[in-house]
Amino acid sequence: MTDGVAVPGPDGALRCPWGISAADYVPYHDEEWGRPVHGDDALFERLCLEAFQSGLSWITILRRREGFRRAFAGFGIAAVADFTDADRERLLADEAIIRNRAKIDAALANARVLAEWAPGELDALIWSYAPDPATRPVPRTLADVPAVTDESTALSKALKKHGLRFIGPTTAYALMQACGLVDDHLADCVARSRTASGTTSGTAS
Q: Which residues pair with 37 in a beta bridge?
A: 200
- The alpha-carbon radius of gyration of the chain (Å, integer) is 17
Catalytic (active site) residue 28: yes
Read off the DSSP letter of residue 84. Answer: -
Catalytic (active site) residue 58: yes
Active-site choice (50, 129, 151, 173): 50
Neighbour-count burial for 59-89, b at 16+ CB within 10 Å, e otherwise: bebbebbeebbebbeebbbeebbebeeebee
Active-site choice (18, 25, 33, 58): 58
- Measured at the alpha carbon of residue 43, what is the angle toward residues 174 and 87, in degrees to the nearest 5? 105
Provide the sign of the torsion angle of the four alpha carbons 11, 16, 22, 26, taken in this order: negative
32 in helix, strand or coil? Answer: coil
What residues are labeled active site? 28, 50, 58
